[in-house]
Amino acid sequence: MTTLEQNLEKLETYLTHVREHGILNQIGDEARPAMSGATFDNQSPVDESFICKVAKSGAEDIDAAAKAAKEAFPAWRDIDPVSRKKILHRIADRIVARADEIALAECWDTGQAHRFMSKAALRGAENFRFFADKAPSARDGQVLPSATLMNVTTRVPIGPVGVITPWNTPFMLSTWKIAPALAAGCTVVHKPAEFSPVTARILMDIAEEAGLPAGVWNLVNGFGEDAGKALTEHPDIKAIAFVGESRTGSMIMKQGADTLKRVHFELGGKNPVVVFDDADLDRALDAAIFMIYSLNGERCTSSSRLLVQENIAEEFQKKLVERVNRIKVGHPLDPSTEIGPLIHKTHLDKVTSYFDIAKADGATIAAGGEAVEGKGHFVKPTLFTGAKPSMRIAQEEIFGPVLTAITFKDEDEALEIANGVDYGLTGYVWTNDLTRALRFTNKLEAGMIWVNSENVRHLPTPFGGVKASGIGRDGGDWSFEFYMEQKHVGFATGQHHIPQLGK
Ligand code: NAD
């Protein structure tokens, strides 16, 4: 039996439960269908086969979940933080125990290649461990004495929060948002993406098994325009942590305006990888390829624009074409596969529409440039060369395994091109000139920059974007700044003069 066949056999066992029962919401201690009884079908991007039915929820389900989260909030806020830490660690333990199931289900549901996804479950566990360890100090503040007052600050959790996640790496991103919210003492209503609901349900089951009190974490499945919208408008939900497209973020901001929602946005990107002629070009090539073609290019931090210095461009692009043509597109559960199918047909159509756009605008398709014939949403890894910075392929987030290469003359031009987009999530700079690296990163408009490296996440560091790529930061203590309020109390240290009125 091949590894692919073994994986498919295991997957069938893992999916037995969801195939039989469908994906239910979780409201308080009850796993239940949508109140209307409505469902929708969840399909695999691999072959468009039916996976399971999913609860299609509306405003009434969100209302019940928000009430459950509100009711559970005071006890969860006030629980001994060491107990909170232990529960979150138990969630991490159980994620590790079910990592194989999570990885296989996620690949089948999203089309991501197993070779990358097998680690995503463990990264999810690490997110829980990292924030579990921070739970006991989440309320820490400062003492800021003045002449007459002992001023004390503490942090308090903001209340029930809504978490809305996208379909790319949904498991990892859900843990990335929910773990800090729970560690802070908030309760949660989670609305996962309609295209990838399976692992969100597994995660919910894990939380229950780990002893998380009922109502602390609720799950409501459904579409953005009904369940998602209702969550952002609900008066009991104090904040929305959202990961998804920039234009959805803008809609959420409007929807949340009447209830003055606090928002945290991780949005789109059109991230540059800038390769100067003095760089270690072999390593730069490895990193540039990895950062756009891994995870199907469905990755917010992908290096979707290659900016390469013109005197090395021809040689660099020649090697790039050879490598891109060798990337293996295939079944996501086959360990040799490097690119799996894109999430859904509409997304495949969006990605492939850029092939005609590129040609019409005068760029060259140096590799790929077509969908793969047959079932499933497969597309060949694609490289555009000869692109100009103003072209749509150089400006718009394509969100697939598609790289746009642009050449530049010197540092100033590279910076102008790099900054000349609406987005500002990540940047990757390749040079062995330290002064140039310092100068360039200082002016590059991005929330996160790596020099001579691909994206390597370190949880204590701030994660987030500038411009249309986001609002707010996650990681370290920054997550708590979003999920918590600062509270100040001033204690008089003596009988200082109080201004006298009406005496
Ligand atoms: P999307 O914006 O279409 O959907 C994301 C989530 O929002 C889904 O759960 C969806 O149901 C919900 N939603 C849609 N409309 C809504 C509304 N009106 N109100 C409330 N919720 C609504 O995004 P997607 O296509 O699922 O994900 C891909 C996008 O996510 C890309 O742009 C990518 O760059 C971005 N992303 C960013 C980061 C980051 O860290 N910056 C990480 C991952 C993905």
Mean pLDDT throughout 194-222? 98
CA–centroid distance, 465 to ligand 1, in Å, is 15
Model confidence at 3, in pLDDT bands (50, 70, 90)? very high
Q: What is the pTM of this model?
A: 0.97
**217 and 105 in a common domain:** yes
CA–centroid distance, 226 to ligand 1, in Å, is 14
Task: Write out the H or E segment, with its range, that includes residue 451.
Answer: strand 448-451
Does the structure show a pLDDT above 90 at 120?
no
Does the structure show a pLDDT above 90 at 195?
yes
Question: Is 193 touching ligand 1 by the criterion CB < 6 Å?
Answer: yes
Question: Is 167 touching ligand 1 by the criterion CB < 6 Å?
Answer: yes
Question: Is 166 touching ligand 1 by the criterion CB < 6 Å?
Answer: yes
Does the structure show a pLDDT above 90 at 118?
no
pLDDT at 388: 98
Mean pLDDT throughout 259-264? 98
Question: Is 300 touching ligand 1 by the criterion CB < 6 Å?
Answer: yes
Q: What is the mean pLDDT of the chain?
A: 97
**282 and 260 in a common domain:** no
Query: What does the alpha-carbon distance between residue 103 and residue 110 come to, in Å, rounded to a whole number?
Result: 10
pLDDT at 259: 98
For residue 162, what are the β-bridge partners?
Answer: 189, 240
For 211, left (φ over 0), alpha (ψ -120 to 50), or beta?
A: left
Does the structure show a pLDDT above 90 at 347?
yes
pLDDT digits (tens, 9 = 90+) for 36-67: 999 999 999 999 999 999 999 999 999 999 99
Nearest-atom number in ligand 1 for the CA of 425 is 41
Does the structure show a pLDDT above 90 at 348?
yes
Does the structure show a pLDDT above 90 at 123?
yes
In this structure, what CATH number is given to the domain that contains residue 193?
A: 3.40.605.10
**305 and 169 in a common domain:** no
**351 and 206 in a common domain:** no
Q: Has residue 492 been placed in a domain?
A: no
Q: Has residue 495 been placed in a domain?
A: no
**321 and 262 in a common domain:** no
pLDDT at 290: 98
Question: Is 232 touching ligand 1 by the criterion CB < 6 Å?
Answer: yes
Model confidence at 491, in pLDDT bands (50, 70, 90)? very high
Q: Has residue 155 been placed in a domain?
A: yes
Nearest-atom number in ligand 1 for the CA of 269 is 34
CA–centroid distance, 85 to ligand 1, in Å, is 29
pLDDT at 170: 97
Nearest-atom number in ligand 1 for the CA of 223 is 11
- Say how many domains are in the chain: 2
Question: Is 251 touching ligand 1 by the criterion CB < 6 Å?
Answer: yes
CA–centroid distance, 470 to ligand 1, in Å, is 12
Model confidence at 14, in pLDDT bands (50, 70, 90)? very high
Among all residues, which ones are annotated catalytic? 266, 300
CA–centroid distance, 163 to ligand 1, in Å, is 11
Q: Has residue 342 been placed in a domain?
A: yes
**473 and 432 in a common domain:** no
pLDDT digits (tens, 9 = 90+) for 94-112: 999 999 999 999 999 999 9
Question: Is 228 touching ligand 1 by the criterion CB < 6 Å?
Answer: yes
User: If you search the block for the tokens 């989260």, which residue do you land on?
Assistant: 69
**438 and 339 in a common domain:** yes
Question: Is 164 touching ligand 1 by the criterion CB < 6 Å?
Answer: yes
Mean pLDDT throughout 71-83? 97
For 256-271, letters b (16+ CB in 10 Å) and e give beeeebbbbbbbbbbb
Question: Is 373 touching ligand 1 by the criterion CB < 6 Å?
Answer: no
Mean pLDDT throughout 108-127? 94
Cβ neighbors of 71 (< 8 A, separation 6 or more) are 28, 215
Query: Which of 127, 243, 399 has most ligand 1 atoms within 8 Å of CB, for mutation?
Result: 243
In this structure, what CATH number is given to the domain that contains residue 378?
A: 3.40.309.10
Q: Has residue 436 been placed in a domain?
A: yes
**233 and 104 in a common domain:** yes
Mean pLDDT throughout 435-441? 98
Q: How far is CA 269 from CA 265, 362, 397, 423, in A?
A: 12, 23, 6, 5
- The last residue of one of the domains, among 423, 451, 479, is 451
Mean pLDDT throughout 226-231? 98
Domain that holds residue 239: 3-267+469-487
pLDDT digits (tens, 9 = 90+) for 389-402: 999 999 999 999 99
**227 and 295 in a common domain:** no
Q: Has residue 503 been placed in a domain?
A: no
- Nearest CA to 220 out of 210, 233, 230 is that of 230
pLDDT at 502: 96
Mean pLDDT throughout 235-256? 98
Q: Is 373 exposed, middle or buried (CB count within 10 Å of its CB: 0-12, 13-18, 19+)?
A: exposed
Q: Has residue 196 been placed in a domain?
A: yes
Model confidence at 373, in pLDDT bands (50, 70, 90)? very high
CA–centroid distance, 267 to ligand 1, in Å, is 7
Q: Whose CA is nearest to atom 42 of ligand 1?
A: 300
User: If you search the block for the tokens 């969860």, which residue do you land on?
Assistant: 76
Query: Which of 23, 168, 178, 220 has most ligand 1 atoms within 8 Å of CB, for mutation?
Result: 168
CB 53 within 8 A of CB 40: yes
**310 and 201 in a common domain:** no
Q: Whose CA is nearest to atom 23 of ligand 1?
A: 244
Query: What does the alpha-carbon distance between residue 357 and residue 364 come to, in Å, rounded to a whole number?
Result: 11
Query: What does the alpha-carbon distance between residue 128 and residue 121 come to, in Å, rounded to a whole number?
Result: 11
**381 and 263 in a common domain:** no
pLDDT at 119: 82
**281 and 263 in a common domain:** no
Q: Has residue 202 been placed in a domain?
A: yes
CA–centroid distance, 168 to ligand 1, in Å, is 9
Query: What does the alpha-carbon distance between residue 254 and residue 251 come to, in Å, rounded to a whole number?
Result: 5
Query: Which of 61, 163, 164 has most ligand 1 atoms within 8 Å of CB, for mutation?
Result: 164
